[in-house]
Chains A and B, each alone.
With several copies, the nearest count.
Chain A
Amino acid sequence: MGFTSFKSNVEAGDIVIIFMGHDSMFPLYVKKGEISQTKFGAIKHDQIINHKYGTKFTCSRGWVYVLHPTPELWTITLPHRTQILYTADISMILFQLDLKPGSVVCESGTGSGSLSHAIIRTIAPTGFLHTVEFHEDRANKASLEFKKHGLADYVTVYNRDVIKLGFPVTSVADAVFLDIPSPDDAISAAANALKQSGGRLCSFSPCIEQVQRTCTNLRQQGSGFKDVQVFELIRRSCNVKRVFVPMADLGLDNDEVRSKVVGESNVLPSVTQKHAFCCRTCVLPKETYGHTGFLVFATYQPN
């Protein structure tokens, strides 16, 4: 299914992403006979089936694009069960954990499954994700979701307290990811899950206090962890817009003023325009995410 492989046309049972605009997308499970209501009108699923991914689909009050699912689109459209991780952090996590097809990963907690989908995409089909979620309801929902997304072969969800009981597997993981309230209490659990030949660890924390304790424990003599690094990523997305900057009325008919502004070389005639200077510029949104969380990375390499 979509997250680990590609197809060209929509089939019943697929999850697709309906694109109505840059900030208006939602996931849709395609089911024979069903109809979904959108602000652009009804979408009859039967009409989507066999529809080509990436093409327009016309509703009564507008048109949408039917998109192939990817972990990145899923991240921005998924139903939030918790705070989720966003794409800049996810990318850095996958990269710094050295994940690739075949990697075995332990994750806690599963949360809304935003990162889990991205991990599975990267480690499938030969790798495996063991993901632990303390909260029973969330664990069940995540498990169901993975099944619906055709990912059950690559992941097991465990409802478990990782701090008390550790990870369900020992010495098999290439990488461990922690996103729990007390990551510092799970350092030995992480070490146990990791391969004796070594691996990588990442802990995500919104607050610096957790980071401080986590680093202290990672650096403790005999922990087996090395190369502790802490990052924070701020990703800014801008819009390219044409802006018109008005010109002040400086009386350029006056020769004295004109000579000051234009100069001898006449280098920048643009600023002698009467009404407005026009340029293309990058406009940042008024507010952006200034902080998502801190990423702590370390290498496990017991002596």
Chain B
Amino acid sequence: NMADNEINLNTTVILERNSVLKAVKLVANKVIVFEKLRFKPDKAVGCNYGTVFKVTLTPQRSSPWCKRTIANGEMEITDQDLDSLDTNADDAQGKDNRSLVDTHGKSQTIKRENILEMKGEGATGEEIVKCLVENSSSFNEKTSFSQNKYLKKKKKKYLSYIRIQRPNSRLICQLYQEREPAKICNMRMETMSQILTAANIKHGCNVGVVETCSGVVLGSVLEKLGGKGCVVNLHNGESPPNLFAISHFNFPEPDSDKSDNDITMDTVSEQSNGCDKTKGDNDIKVSGKKRRENRLKHQQRAWGVLENKLLDAVVVVCKFHPTPILLCLLDLQLSRPFVVYSEHKEPLMELFVRLSISGSAINLQLTDTLTRQYQVLPERTHPHVMMSSGGGYLLTGLKITNS
């Protein structure tokens, strides 16, 4: 069981540096470039998820005959607590800054060029930080609180700690939300969480999904099915949409021998053909005869679920106008939920009205959620100063019949 928690090659992991996340597949001896660091992952293999590594900085030598030699950093296990490096806290607020005079950086005699030089000579991050402290004229005048903050800030910049985490729906969502929100229709984590509960996603159910969220929604639904049930992924047009995020989840491949997983991503492009034809493509790269057979089997199963109206939930999270899509998919089982996300309110307002008068849905709710994150620190507790606004809207309801 503990072995489950070990970092392995050929799986995707989440890298974290200075609160920035990245999903990366570990391949033996293959260099990873992440947040200005270059390193090979091999030393991480066998370590537990959550381990923090120090990556030595890359010396960048430049000489007349060799402009820049890029070498790789080395990974080293450490028990550094990343939280203790966190300087996002706006400590200044609430502090007595009445007699502070802003020196506009004049107190530091080490310049950017000097630091580059030191790096070129292979100085470690510790050495650089030490040098910066020794050459700051104001460091000793600072309160110990400010000294601490200064140290944290510099350490964060010059010491290169990364954490390797096991991917899951939460981290993958966070990653997209922070780095590429447009690729998940600007949906936020709290909305993703409500989609999963409102659609009552659970072990073994059949879910129809229409998404243009890089596979984040699809992957999250699959994760919550826990290896049983069926996800029917419907997409627009001939070619399947970008579902890159699916690969981050490390789902067992459907045809691998280890797999007791009955699910695959069945992409059924029948929508464009009036629900009367199946024609699929699968984002999981497959090859070989067995795989092709498997794929066909899965597609037929998905098709069966659709045709026999066995869907337990419908989830629509896409850039398209949701009204015609949901109306097409409203053939789910009775007393089952559907959930529709849209970045803009107006299309959902239209769908709301359309469903209210249709007599085929009740318990309609059009909602938005305001999330407030708080900084809770001694003498500095307050809601975050910046707040992401406009996290889109959700329309939820239950399928019923009037007859």
Q: Does B347 belong to the interface (CB within 8 Å)?
A: yes
Which of B37-45, B109-117, B190-198 lies at the interface?
B190-198
Minimum CB distance partner of B384 in chain A: A290
Contact string against B for A residues 127-167, beta-carbon threshold 8 Å, 1 for contact and 0 otherwise = 00000001101000000000000000000000000000000
CB-CB under 8 A from B262, the residues of chain A are none
A154 vs chain B, min Cβ distance (A): 11
Give complex CA distance A270, B354 in Å: 12
With most chain B CB atoms within 10 A of its CB, the pick from A52, A70, A82, A287 is: A70
Is there an interface contact between B334 and A8, defined as CB atoms closer than 8 Å? yes
| Residues from 346 to 363 in B contacting A, C-beta threshold 8 Å | 346-347, 349-350, 352-354, 356-358, 362-363
A21 vs chain B, min Cβ distance (A): 9
Is there an interface contact between B328 and A281, defined as CB atoms closer than 8 Å? no
Which of B62-70, B121-129, B133-141, B369-377 lies at the interface?
B369-377
Minimum CB distance partner of B277 in chain A: A251
B310 vs chain A, min Cβ distance (A): 10
| Residues from 282 to 303 in A contacting B, C-beta threshold 8 Å | 282-294, 296, 299, 301, 303
Is there an interface contact between A209 and B374, defined as CB atoms closer than 8 Å? no
| Residues from 64 to 100 in B contacting A, C-beta threshold 8 Å | 79, 81-83, 93-99
Size of the chain A interface, CB-CB below 8 angstroms? 114
A158 vs chain B, min Cβ distance (A): 14
Give complex CA distance A289, B382 in Å: 13
Give complex CA distance A5, B336 in Å: 12
Is there an interface contact between A235 and B369, defined as CB atoms closer than 8 Å? yes
Contact string against B for A residues 175-214, beta-carbon threshold 8 Å, 1 for contact and 0 otherwise = 0000001100000000000000110000001111111100
Q: Given the interface contacts A6-B205, A197-B2, A254-B274, does A271 sit within 8 Å of B324 by beta carbon?
A: yes
Is there an interface contact between A233 and B190, defined as CB atoms closer than 8 Å? yes
Give complex CA distance A188, B341 in Å: 40
Q: Does A124 belong to the interface (CB within 8 Å)?
A: yes
Is there an interface contact between B196 and A279, defined as CB atoms closer than 8 Å? no
Q: Given the interface contacts A240-B352, A250-B271, does A118 sit within 8 Å of B197 by beta carbon?
A: yes
B278 vs chain A, min Cβ distance (A): 14
Taking a contact as CB atoms closer than 8 A, the residue among A87, A207, A272 that contacts B380 in the complex is A207
Q: Given the interface contacts A19-B362, A205-B94, A248-B320, does A100 sit within 8 Å of B276 by beta carbon?
A: no
Is there an interface contact between A94 and B197, defined as CB atoms closer than 8 Å? yes
Is there an interface contact between B347 and A249, defined as CB atoms closer than 8 Å? no
CB-CB under 8 A from B108, the residues of chain A are none
Size of the chain B interface, CB-CB below 8 angstroms? 116
Is there an interface contact between B369 and A95, defined as CB atoms closer than 8 Å? no
Give complex CA distance A236, B380 in Å: 24
Q: Does A98 belong to the interface (CB within 8 Å)?
A: yes
CB-CB under 8 A from B205, the residues of chain A are 6
Give complex CA distance A67, B390 in Å: 32
Is there an interface contact between B385 and A238, defined as CB atoms closer than 8 Å? no
With most chain B CB atoms within 10 A of its CB, the pick from A54, A272, A289 is: A54
A149 vs chain B, min Cβ distance (A): 14
Q: Given the interface contacts A126-B226, A251-B273, does A289 sit within 8 Å of B386 by beta carbon?
A: yes
Taking a contact as CB atoms closer than 8 A, the residue among A101, A268, A272, A296 that contacts B224 in the complex is A101
Interface of A is mostly: mixed
Is there an interface contact between A236 and B370, defined as CB atoms closer than 8 Å? yes
Is there an interface contact between B347 and A212, defined as CB atoms closer than 8 Å? no
With most chain A CB atoms within 10 A of its CB, the pick from B168, B193, B323, B364 is: B193
Is there an interface contact between A22 and B363, defined as CB atoms closer than 8 Å? yes
CB-CB under 8 A from A279, the residues of chain B are 344, 346-347
Q: Does B155 belong to the interface (CB within 8 Å)?
A: no
| Residues from 269 to 299 in B contacting A, C-beta threshold 8 Å | 271-276
Interchain residue pairs A-B with the least CB separation, the first 8: A290-B387, A101-B226, A54-B334, A254-B274, A54-B335, A95-B193, A284-B390, A291-B383
A-B contact pairs, 22 of them (CB 8 A): A71-B200, A98-B168, A100-B169, A100-B224, A101-B228, A126-B226, A197-B48, A208-B381, A209-B94, A210-B94, A211-B374, A231-B190, A235-B369, A236-B389, A247-B320, A257-B328, A268-B350, A270-B350, A271-B354, A290-B384, A291-B382, A291-B384
Residues on B lying within 8 angstroms of A by beta carbon are 1-2, 4-5, 48-50, 79, 81-83, 93-99, 101, 168-170, 181, 189-190, 192-194, 196-198, 200-205, 210, 223-228, 236-237, 271-276, 312, 318-321, 323-325, 327-328, 330, 333-337, 342, 344-347, 349-350, 352-354, 356-358, 362-390, 398-403
